[in-house]
Structure 1
Amino acid sequence: MNYQTVHLNIKLGELNMINELKILKKKYEEIMLSSAKIESEYFQTVMSSYAYKKISKGPSINIRPFDFQQTGFKKGRDLKALPKVIDNTYVYYFDSENKILLTENYGETDNFINREYYFYRGNCIESIYFGSGNSGVGNVSLLIGIKERPNYWVTYATYGYAIWEYIYNDDILVEINVKCKEHEQTELTFFKTCFEYNHGELNKIILKYPNGYEVQRYP
């Protein structure tokens, strides 16, 4: 997919998170100047180029490791067509190389659709999320590293930003170190997302905060 916004310059091994956040912030602000026009261009590009799509009731495909599980969801049920009760329906559009170009998430009506577009360059996946209606761009994000084992996820959003660092043990994701900050805040917030397995299958996801507070997010 091609688009007329600033290209990111990522050098793995020399990652400067503050610099990447500045780049994402600049891109976010540029898109906000004409978000409806840009989102329409992205949508038309996908509709004219995608090879096939998949539909599910509930999320069923992760771009980031255990993405929907971290929000408490189990894998959604595959569908052949959009259901009558559209709420929480997901549509994934793929190119001929089986890469996801666009994710649509339906709300209570078929007029309420959140869309996230994906752009692939080397070992990075950039995503741009648009809320339904005239809410504009919600966030601009960058996933750094191969899809099966990313190193970082950096996102700049309407209300703040976050940096995720993925920690592995023998290629198994065991922890995500997260630091985030709302734009109005002066202090960073830190927490860990910890993954537990049973015979190689994901068993639990637990958020752990520096003050000792824990909350189980999955199942």
Structure 2
Amino acid sequence: MAAQVTLEDALSNVDLLEELPLPDQQPCIEPPPSSLLYQPNFNTNFEDRNAFVTGIARYIEQATVHSSMNEMLEEGQEYAVMLYTWRSCSRAIPQRNAIERFCGEVRRLCHAERRKDFVSEAYLITLGKFINMFAVLDELKNMKCSVKNDHSAYKRAAQFLRKMADPQSIQESQNLSMFLANHNKITQSLQQQLEVISGYEELLADIVNLCVDYYENRMYLTPSEKHML
């Protein structure tokens, strides 16, 4: 007659099975698991342009220029915020680099051979944002009296240190005084540089017509897009 096994003995025997060696001659070919974190970023600013290699390199060139212009637009937005909220006259320096870059792109697109190529709507909208940025910076400069008052206080304080001031500082102060004294200086400088470019009216007409089409068909999302030009 078989001996009776209690429940405690049966459970202990089951626990002993965990220590039973079971050698496996098969090699382990599976790697250890690792966690992956994917975070989508839809605002790539054309960073993936090199992945789309085509037979026509001008589209990659346009994406490269578009990316750099978006960076300058962000810098212009920072200048607008500083002019609107701060009282620092050093932030009122005109956007010379942005104006030169904008006029350079207009000159390139107005070339006789370039006029035959296709220009995307996104690129024209970016140029429209540049024009809007220049107008916003001009109006902020005109309405902020604190910038002119701070610069006047700076010039009065600098008169006591005129012997210690170098010619470069004096020239920068004079340029800043002329810039603050003239209203719409940024847009006037832009207009002067655009007038020497042949065929710039057609490009500006394309930009204006596109912005009007977006406005009439309500193809905008934010107030800045609605009142671009």
TM range (shorter): under 0.3
The TM-score with structure 1 as length reference comes to 0.27
When normalised by structure 2's length, the TM-score is: 0.26
Structure with more of its chain in strand, by fraction: 1
Computing the radius of gyration over CA atoms, which structure comes out larger, 1 or 2? 2
Q: Which has the higher helix share?
A: 2
